[in-house]
Amino acid sequence: MTSDDDAPGPLGLDPWLLDILACPACRAAVRVDEAASTLVCTACGLAYPVRDGIPVMLVDEALHPGV
């Protein structure tokens, strides 16, 4: 039996993980973009892909704003 606390959040990520993730480029918070399956930096706009439920928080893999 599981509780709602154990339920995965957006993109299959644990909510506690979303609370601690930060942009590796500028250290700002990230927000979920479910339509694009990415985590987007709230400051610099870099978008980090989420592949198979795993956030790829590498600047070299990030999509730049407007691309």
Give pLDDT tens digits for 11-60: 888 899 999 999 999 999 999 999 999 999 999 999 999 999 899 999 99
CATH numbers and ranges of domains, the chain: 4-61 (2.20.25.10)
Give pLDDT tens digits for 6-23: 666 788 888 999 999 999
pLDDT of residue 3 exceeding 70: no
Measured at the CA of 29, the angle between CA 50 and CA 44, to 5 degrees, comes to 85
Strand partners, 33: 38
Residue 17, phi then psi, degrees to nearest 5:
-70, -40
Q: Is 47 exposed, middle or buried (0-12, 13-18, 19+ CB in 10 A)?
A: buried
